[in-house]
């Protein structure tokens, strides 16, 4: 079949909700993707940050194969060996949050966190962050900032208040004796890799404690080493009461997880919440292997080292090309603001063999697998250099 026929099927039948890249991906390995015609790309999109351990990591593939031959489905009302082992491993990585609800996506992990906070505190209000992103189901959408996502679907949850991300004084005003929880990303992802001031999360944790509210940290994008530490909150010494995980947790198999303190999760009674697929053995086998790979290959440290190298390279580009407005990020969660829409750069990069991601109209985002090789980063920097030079020349021509 011709490439165009596949694109046509998707265009005609998949709900037209996504800004499509003109690439038909068929194979992946590490930080490389191949299209239908066999062309190789360095993948800095990483399936929106899902591909933490890279594409088709042999240990993940092996775990999935082995489990697929033993047992694919098993409801959480029945015990399962692989699920049990996975839970034990996962909670060892967050010892103060030993209770886990397993679901299938980031939004679901957030839904559980919101219900949990309301039930545990008996309060209704939630304080959320401007610029925050938590998913698009009704509960998660209600605490997501972008009005373009929210307004067409109102009415949403009642009692949500948004405060400027990073502004502790405004957070202090908003958190009251009616507040069930504060929800935040430790580093904002969708709004373009926004790092809060160093004392912000710790300060919010203290205010929450004072007011009897819970701190929910959404580590869906930042978790599992992405930012150079296993959990991004470790950079800020602000351990949450509830933590949401998803994206890379199961190596690309759908999974979400809501981790909570023992007495917090104890407020949900039998039947208060559930998920048919949650805790699925195939996903648990993959997730268990992901933990082995993340720890075994020292991926958080690797993300720090390669992230510093990548960011330095981007900063050098910034110093050479005035079309670059800003470069920032932590670990392998990086962003570059341009002075013009990024669309041509995205498409140009694709043509040259680099798959990049965007955040809004003028920001490039980089969420490569943590197993990316240095020479692959160098290749991406080289491609970007060529494209920035082209854009710079275009801009200077317009000026004269
Ligand atoms: C992607 C993301 C979500 C939503 O995850 P889905 O699996 O798309 O529902 C929630 N929170 C954060 C921080 C995310 O980056």
Domain boundaries defined on the chain: 3-53+298-399, 58-296
Distance 190 CA to ligand 1 centre (A): 9
Per-residue pLDDT for the chain (400 aa), expressed as one digit of tens each? 899 999 999 999 999 999 999 999 999 999 999 999 999 999 999 999 999 999 999 999 999 999 999 999 999 999 999 999 999 999 999 999 999 999 999 999 999 999 999 999 999 999 999 999 999 999 999 999 999 999 999 999 999 999 999 999 999 999 999 999 999 999 999 999 999 999 999 999 999 999 999 999 999 999 999 999 999 999 999 999 999 999 999 999 999 999 999 999 999 999 999 999 999 999 999 999 999 999 999 999 999 999 999 999 999 999 999 999 999 999 999 999 999 999 999 999 999 999 999 998 999 999 999 999 999 999 999 999 999 999 999 888 887 7
Ligand 1: distance of its center to the CA of 324 in Å? 28
Q: What are 42's two structure tokens?
A: 């360095």
Q: Please work out whether the CB of residue 233 comes within 6 Å of at least one atom of ligand 1.
A: no
99 token code pair: 């209770």
Give the tokens for residue 211.
């007011």
Q: Whose CA is nearest to atom 10 of ligand 1?
A: 134
Q: In terms of DSSP H, where are the helices of the chain?
A: 3-13, 46-49, 58-70, 81-92, 106-121, 138-142, 147-150, 168-174, 200-211, 262-265, 281-296, 299-320, 343-352, 374-399
Q: How many residues does the chain have?
A: 400
Residue with the nearest Cα to atom 15 of ligand 1? 221
Please give the Cα distance from 362 to 153 (Å, whole number).
26
Topology of the domain covering 3-53+298-399: 3.90.1150
106 lines ligand 1 (CB under 6 A): yes
Burial (CB < 10 A; 0-12, 13-18, 19+), residue 65, is exposed
Which of the listed residues 46, 190, 247 should we mutate to test ligand 1's pocket, taking the one with most ligand atoms within 8 A of CB?
A: 247
Q: Which of 110, 144, 227, 246 is the best mutation target for the ligand 1 pocket, counting ligand atoms within 8 Å of the beta carbon and taking the most?
A: 246
The atom number, within ligand 1, closest to the CA of 108 reads 9
Q: Tell me, yes or no, if the pTM score tops 0.95.
A: yes
Position 288 scores a pLDDT of 98
Mutate to test the pocket of ligand 1, among 102, 134, 278 (most ligand atoms within 8 A of CB): 134
**Distance between first and last Cα of the chain:** 49
Atom of ligand 1 nearest to the CA of 254: 7
CB of 107 sitting under 6 A from ligand 1? yes
CATH of 58-296, one of 3.40.50.1100, 3.40.640.10, 1.20.140.10, 3.40.30.10: 3.40.640.10
């Amino acid at each position: 079949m011709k490439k165009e026929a596949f694109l046509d099927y998707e265009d005609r039948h998949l709900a037209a909700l996504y800004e499509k890249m003109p690439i038909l991906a068929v194979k992946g390995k590490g930080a490389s993707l191949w299209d239908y015609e066999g062309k190789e790309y360095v993948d800095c999109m990483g399936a929106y940050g899902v591909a933490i351990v890279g594409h088709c990591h042999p240990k993940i593939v092996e775990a999935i194969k082995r489990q697929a031959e033993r047992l694919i489905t098993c409801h959480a009302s029945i015990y399962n060996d692989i699920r049990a082992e996975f839970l034990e491993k996962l909670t060892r990585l967050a010892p103060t949050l030993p209770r886990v609800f397993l679901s299938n996506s980031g939004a679901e992990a957030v839904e559980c966190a919101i219900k949990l906070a309301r039930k545990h505190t008996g309060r209704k209000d939630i304080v959320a962050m401007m610029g925050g992103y938590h998913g698009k189901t009704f509960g998660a959408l209600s605490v997501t900032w972008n009005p373009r996502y929210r307004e067409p679907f109102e009415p949403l949850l009642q009692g949500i208040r948004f405060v400027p991300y990073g502004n502790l004084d405004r957070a202090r005003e908003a958190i009251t004796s009616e507040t069930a929880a504060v929800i935040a990303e430790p580093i904002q992802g969708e709004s373009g890799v926004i790092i809060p001031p160093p004392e912000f999360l710790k300060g919010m944790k203290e205010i929450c404690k004072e007011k009897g509210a819970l701190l929910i940290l959404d580590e869906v994008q930042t978790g599992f080493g992405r930012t150079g530490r296993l959990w991004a909150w470790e950079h800020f010494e602000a351990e949450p009461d509830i933590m949401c995980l998803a994206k890379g947790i199961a190596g690309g198999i759908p999974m979400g997880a809501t981790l909570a303190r023992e007495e917090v999760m104890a407020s949900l009674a039998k039947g208060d919440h559930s998920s048919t697929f949650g805790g699925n053995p195939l996903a648990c086998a993959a997730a268990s292997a992901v933990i082995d790979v993340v720890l075994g290959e020292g991926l958080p440290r690797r993300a720090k080292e390669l992230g510093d190298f990548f960011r330095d390279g981007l900063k050098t580009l910034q110093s050479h090309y005035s079309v670059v407005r800003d470069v920032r990020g932590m670990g392998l969660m990086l962003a570059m603001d341009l002075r013009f829409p990024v669309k041509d750069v995205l498409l140009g990069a694709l043509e040259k063999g680099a798959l990049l991601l965007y955040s809004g109209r003028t920001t490039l985002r980089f969420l490569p697998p943590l197993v990316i090789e240095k020479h692959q980063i160098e290749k991406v920097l080289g491609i970007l250099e060529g494209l920035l030079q082209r854009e710079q020349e275009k801009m200077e021509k317009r000026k004269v």
